[in-house]
């Protein structure tokens, strides 16, 4: 899909980011969930984080199971601080054809991986899993709350779809699309506020990447929160005479093989950018897709290759090279290496 954006909407002539209206994409998810509650048959399972995951609106609208005034008809189910129990209980709902929506921080989902496999994935049931606060952009909570392996784990499961939306508009559409998808859907969200990248004419589709900026010779592939940083990085790279293409990949599993193969027709170098380990995430998904398309290219994977520390999201992105300056610098270094290999 092509959905070209105007870089000038995000950066000024000097290359500095503009002040834009922003919204927590967790709020977009929560609003969409509350709206869908009137249309779809599902329950929301929480682990004492309904305020943080923004499912509190659904809880207020449809009630908590076993609590007044809804009695036992409430559709928000408190599982306490027990993610393993929550994921196992999800299998019971799914077996009764009531879709469970599992909600917690991406890091805390690790406690529920095994029961999720045994209760949902192996039996081939349908479920929607929300992993909030993904990546080092979780910030001040530190490494113990900064999930950088979650995408790799879910990508390795059979019949699992992995989504990381890039803005509030896409988050709403992806949430609704998750209810039309069979199997398990894992959606990873950031802790932070995002500006809108997309307008009301945008149409998210599971499995489709989005070309945001046309280009040649170099293709940047991003997902989730890193897409905005890549837009600002391209503004810097254009001033250096480069013309990178930008592909936003909201569906990490399965990746859009077609859009990548098309980009490979005039790109010898791909740079993948993700707030996740470079092993098993977006970078490996791109490598696999290019190989399957019989279009092998050099792929440089930018990600988080260690456990970070507490800090503001901006400071951590700067330190680990995921901000606009870091992405631009690493892209230039990769271009220089590419030129030396192919003089």
Q: How far is CA 334 from CA 104, 215, 259, 271, 304, in A?
A: 37, 17, 22, 8, 17
CA distance 43 to 213: 39
Helices 226-239 and 324-341: crossing angle in degrees, nearest 10, is 60
- Would you tell me how many other CB atoms lie within 10 Å of the CB of residue 276? 29
Residues 6+ apart with CB under 8 A from 223: 164, 166, 248, 249, 250, 252, 274, 282
Tell me the backbone φ, ψ of residue 278, rounded to 5 degrees. -70, 0
Beta-strand runs (E) in the chain: 23-24, 42-46, 76-78, 99-105, 127-132, 160-163, 184-188, 193-194, 210-213, 217-222, 245-248, 251-253, 267-273, 298-302
* pLDDT value of residue 32: 96
Return the closest-CA partner of residue 49 out of 115, 117, 141.
Answer: 141
**Class of residue 260 by CB neighbours under 10 A (exposed 0-12, middle 13-18, buried 19+):** buried
- For CATH 3.40.50.920, the residue range(s) in the chain are 7-19+203-341
Handedness of CA 267, 170, 131, 38 (dihedral sign): negative
What CATH number was assigned to the domain covering residues 7-19+203-341? 3.40.50.920
Residues spanned by CATH 3.40.50.970 within the chain? 23-194
> pTM for this one?
0.95
How buried is residue 68: exposed, middle or buried, by Cβ count under 10 Å (0-12/13-18/19+)? exposed
Q: For residues 166 and 163, what is the distance between their CA atoms, to the nearest angstrom? A: 10
One digit per residue, the tens of pLDDT, for the chain of length 343 reads: 999 999 989 988 777 788 889 999 999 999 999 999 999 989 999 998 888 999 999 999 998 887 766 656 789 899 989 999 999 999 999 999 999 999 999 999 999 999 999 999 999 999 999 999 999 999 999 999 999 999 999 999 999 999 999 999 999 999 999 999 999 999 999 999 999 999 999 999 999 999 999 999 999 999 999 999 999 999 999 999 999 999 999 999 999 999 999 999 999 999 999 999 999 999 999 999 999 999 989 999 999 999 999 999 999 999 999 999 999 999 999 998 877 776 6
For domain 23-194, the question of CATH label 3.40.50.970 is answered with yes
Tokens for 336, please give them.
């220089």
- pLDDT at residue 70, as a whole number: 62
């Amino acid at each position: 899909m092509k959905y070209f954006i105007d870089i000038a909407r995000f950066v000024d002539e000097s290359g500095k980011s503009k002040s834009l209206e922003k919204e927590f994409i967790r709020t977009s998810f929560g609003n969409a969930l509350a709206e869908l509650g009137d249309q779809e048959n599902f329950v929301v399972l929480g682990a004492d984080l309904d305020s943080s995951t923004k499912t509190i609106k659904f809880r207020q609208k449809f009630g908590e199971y076993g609590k007044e005034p809804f009695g036992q008809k409430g559709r928000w189910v408190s599982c306490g601080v027990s993610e393993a129990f929550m994921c196992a209980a999800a299998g019971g709902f799914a077996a009764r054809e009531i879709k469970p929506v599992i909600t917690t921080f991406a890091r805390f989902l690790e406690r529920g991986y095994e029961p999720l496999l045994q209760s949902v994935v192996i039996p081939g049931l349908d479920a929607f899993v929300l992993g909030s606060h993904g990546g080092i952009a979780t910030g001040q909570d530190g490494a113990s709350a900064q999930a950088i392996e979650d995408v790799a784990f879910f990508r390795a499961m059979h019949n699992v779809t992995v989504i990381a939306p890039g803005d509030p508009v896409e988050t709403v559409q992806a949430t609704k699309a998750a209810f039309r998808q069979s199997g398990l859907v894992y959606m990873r969200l950031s802790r932070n506020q995002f500006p809108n990248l997309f307008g009301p004419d945008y149409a998210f589709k599971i499995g489709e990447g989005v070309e945001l900026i046309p280009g040649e010779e170099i293709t940047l592939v991003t997902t989730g929160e890193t897409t905005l940083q890549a837009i600002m990085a391209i503004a810097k790279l254009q001033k250096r005479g480069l013309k990178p293409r930008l592909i936003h990949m909201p569906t990490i599993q399965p990746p859009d093989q077609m859009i990548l193969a098309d980009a490979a027709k005039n790109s010898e170098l791909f740079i993948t950018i993700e707030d996740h380990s470079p092993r098993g995430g977006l970078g490996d998904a791109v490598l696999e897709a290019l190989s399957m398309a019989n279009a092998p290219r050099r792929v440089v994977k930018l990600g988080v290759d260690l456990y970070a520390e507490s800090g503001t999201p901006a400071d951590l992105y700067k330190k680990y090279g995921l901000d606009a300056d870091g992405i631009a610098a690493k892209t230039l270094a990769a271009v220089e290496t590419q030129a030396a290999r192919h003089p």
